[in-house]
């Protein structure tokens, strides 16, 4: 249920170098991926369909056109910030608003938000960690949870940011 996709994602005889990583918690679903290219976008579109992706958040410069996503009814959000850095508060606010709209203002959330940076190891996992912290998960637990599923995620500078991140909500995490 959690973690790396163990089935092979293949397009034109080539697998994805880094399979998508599904992170689920409290009725929210995030799919961390590395940046698609124009050449392998059809494979990512198959994965997005498989995981019921409603939105794609690009934390890096665009490496593919958004029109194929539009055609599939997937909304694209370009929230670029520096590689290896922490997100500015304006992006954190917009990210949290998107999560609220997609998962908390509906009776039965079924969708998934895909998110990527270049390799899916820094900027994208940091935003997912923020979402987990907002749900009440302690910061270091959020990082460990993501790292268990996506090796190499979150650098030291980003870890320090996450450790000092103050959630805007006051939810308590209950892990069953």
Q: Which of 59, 60, 112, 117 is catalytic?
A: 117
Catalytic annotation present for 83: yes
Catalytic-residue membership of 117: yes
Residue 36's SS3 state is coil
In angstroms, rounded to a whole number, what is the distance separating the alpha carbons of residues 7 and 5? 6
Which is catalytic among the residues 83, 107, 141, 173? 83
From 133, 114, 138, select the one nearest 23 (Cα to Cα).
114
DSSP 81-125: --TTSPPPHHHHHHHHHHHIIIIISSSS---EEEEE-SSSSSHHH
- Which residues, including other chains, have CB under 8 Å from residue 76's CB and lie 6 or more apart? 55, 56, 58, 66, 69, 70
The answer to whether 22 and 12 have CB atoms below 8 angstroms apart is no
Residues with a known catalytic role: 83, 117
């Amino acid at each position: 249920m959690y973690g790396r996709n163990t089935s092979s994602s293949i397009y034109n005889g080539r697998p994805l170098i880094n399979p998508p990583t599904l992170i689920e918690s409290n009725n929210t679903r995030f799919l961390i991926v590395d940046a698609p290219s124009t050449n392998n976008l059809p494979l990512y579109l198959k994965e997005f369909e498989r995981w019921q992706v409603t939105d794609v958040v690009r934390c890096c410069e665009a490496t593919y056109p958004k029109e194929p996503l539009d055609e599939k009814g997937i909304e694209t959000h370009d929230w670029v910030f520096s590689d290896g850095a922490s997100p500015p508060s304006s992006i954190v606010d917009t990210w949290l608003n998107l999560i609220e709209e997609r998962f908390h203002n509906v009776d039965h959330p079924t969708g998934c938000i895909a998110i990527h940076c270049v390799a899916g190891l820094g900027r994208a996992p940091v935003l997912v960690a923020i979402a987990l912290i907002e749900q009440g998960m302690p910061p270091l637990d959020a990082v460990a949870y993501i790292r268990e599923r996506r090796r190499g995620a979150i650098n030291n500078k980003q870890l320090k940011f996450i450790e000092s991140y103050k959630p805007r909500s006051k939810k308590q995490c209950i892990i069953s």
